[in-house]
Chain A
C-alpha cells in the first residue's frame, strides 16, 4: 500500500535560515498523524510544504505516491505549472490556526465556493452537500451567518466543512484549536474525532496532548527542524526516550 504522505530528507530554508533539516516520515492511509513540538520548530512549514504552499529546497515529498510540486522524467525534475499544483491541492484539505474563512461570504457561501469555482459543480449540488456538512459539524442553523457573526469555535467548524466540501483524501490541521477559548476547543476536537473515526487521513499539528493520545495513531515530536522522536502516542507521550521530548512534554502537560 502506498503511503499517503512520504517525506525523504526534506529540507527547507528561508534565505539563510534552515527551518527543516531533513525530515523523514511516512503517513499511512486512514492514519491520524499528530505533529507536536515547540514554537518555531517548523511544524507549520512542513505542513505547508505538503500542499506546496512552500517549495522545499531538497529531498523528496510524495502525496499518495505523486511527487509534490514536480514531475520526474528520468533523473530530471520538472516544476509543475501553477494550474497543475492547484489541481493537486484540491485533494488536500487544510485547516488553519486563524480559520481564514472568507469574511465577505456567509458560512454556506464559504463552503460551496471551491466546489463551484474549482470543481465546476452546479450550485444546487454543492449547496446540498454544504448543508449536509454544516449540519454534520453542528452548524445547520448558521448557514446564513457571516464569519463575523460566529464564535471562534463555530468559525473553525465552518472551516473544516469548507475543506471537506472538496472531498479531500488528506486533511492537514495546523493548530486548529490554538486560537480558541478553552471552552470552545472541545467542539472542534469532537468534529475532528468524528472525521478520524470515518477513516480520514489526517496530519494534525496540535498542542492538545489529550487529543493526540486518544485519537492519534502515531505522534511525531519535532524540534529545530528535525524529527526527534516518533511512535505510538502512548510511548511518545508517556515514555519519551529523548531528553528534549521529556522537557517539552513536562512544559505542555
Chain B
C-alpha cells in the first residue's frame, strides 16, 4: 500500500461510533385490511357452526375417553412403525436401484413399479385376505401357524402401509443420494473407505438434507393414511371415534373430535420436522436459521424498540 488513509481523529483515540439511523418504518395498511376481512369471515363461519345442530359438549366429554385414547396411541404407533419400515426399506431399495448390479437394480425397479402402481387401500385388503392364497404360514424351523391367526389386523396394517411407503421413500432417497456431489464419494474412496462406509458416513448424511423435508411430508401423510386401516379392522383413531360415535349417537361430533386429534398430531410432527431439518442443515450454511422461539423473541425485541426508540 502506498496511499495513506486519512484518519478521522488523532492517532490513538478511536473514532466516535456512528449514530444509528432513526427512521419511521413503512406502514403496511394492506395487511390490516386483510386481517380485518379474514377475522370477519372466520367469525361468520364459527357462528354458523355454533348455531348448527351439533352437540358440542360431546367432544370434550369424549376427548380423553379410554377407547379414543387407545385409538390415538394405535394411530401414532402404526404411523411410526410403518414409517420406520418404509424409510429403512426405502433406503435399501434406493441403494439397490443405484447399484451397478443389474439384478438388484431390476428387483428394486419392479418393487417400486408394483407398490406405487396400486392403491394402498387395495394393498391393505390384499394383505388381510392373503389367507385365500395361503392357508398356512410355514417358515420351516421357526414358525408355523394358520394364516388368519398370523395375519393380525396390526400386521396387515403395518405391511400394507410400510411396504407401500417404502416405494415412495425409495424414490425420495434416490433423489437425495443423487444430489450429493460425486466428488464426495470419490474423496471417501480415495481415503480407502469401502462402498458401504462411504454411503453411511459421507453420502447419506449429506443426502439427508434433501431427504428429510419430503420425508416429513410423508410422515404427516402417513398419519392421515392410517385412517384407511379401518379396512383391516385395526383399532385406530378413526375406528375408535366411529365406534364411540355409533354407541353414543354423536356420529358427526366424533368425526370433529377425530379431526381435532389428527390436527394436533400433525402439528406436533410439523414442529419435529422443523428441528430435524435444522439439524441436517448444519455445515451447509454459515449460520443456522433462527428457531421460531428465537424469532418470536427477536420480533418482540424489535417491537419494543419501535416504541422505545432505536436502542442498541
Contact = CB atoms under 8 A, between A and B. Distances in A.
A166 B184 contact: no
Interface string B183-197: 110111111111101
Interface string A54-89: 000000000000000000000000000011001111
Given A103-B206, A117-B197, A117-B201, A162 B191 contact: yes
Contacts of B202: 102
Contacts of B186: 53, 96, 100
A117 B206 contact: no
A237 B72 CA distance: 77
Interface stretch (A145-153, A199-207, A215-223, A238-246): A145-153
Given A86-B193, A166-B192, A146 B187 contact: no
B205 A104 contact: yes
A83 B183 contact: no
Q: Which of A53, A100, A101, A162 has the most CB of B within 10 A?
A: A100
A100 B192 contact: no
A73 B188 CA distance: 30
Q: Among B184, B197, B201, B285, which residue has the most Cβ atoms of chain A within 10 A?
A: B201
Contacts of B197: 117-118
Given A100-B184, A103-B206, A148 B193 contact: no
Contact of A89 (B191, B283, B284, B285): B191
The main secondary structure of chain A at its interface with chain B is mixed
A149 B286 contact: yes
A48 B192 CA distance: 14
Interface residues of B, number: 23
A100 to B, nearest CB: 4
Contacts of A101: 187
B187 A102 contact: yes
B193 A118 contact: yes
Given A96-B187, A100-B186, A166-B191, A148 B206 contact: no
Interface string B271-291: 000000000001111100000
A133 to B, nearest CB: 14
Interface string A91-116: 01110101011111110000001100
Given A103-B206, A148-B285, A89 B201 contact: no
Interface string B107-140: 0000000000000000000000000000000000
A192 B123 CA distance: 61
Contact of B189 (A53, A105, A147, A149): A53
A90 interface: yes
A146 B282 contact: yes
Contacts of B188: 102
Nearest to A48: B186
A82 B197 CA distance: 12
A156 interface: no
B183 A98 contact: yes
Interface centre among B181, B192, B197 (most CB of A within 10 A): B192
30 contacts: A53-B189, A53-B190, A82-B195, A86-B189, A86-B192, A86-B193, A86-B194, A87-B192, A88-B192, A89-B190, A89-B191, A89-B192, A90-B191, A92-B190, A93-B190, A94-B187, A96-B183, A100-B184, A102-B202, A102-B206, A103-B283, A104-B282, A117-B193, A117-B201, A118-B192, A118-B193, A118-B197, A148-B285, A148-B286, A166-B192
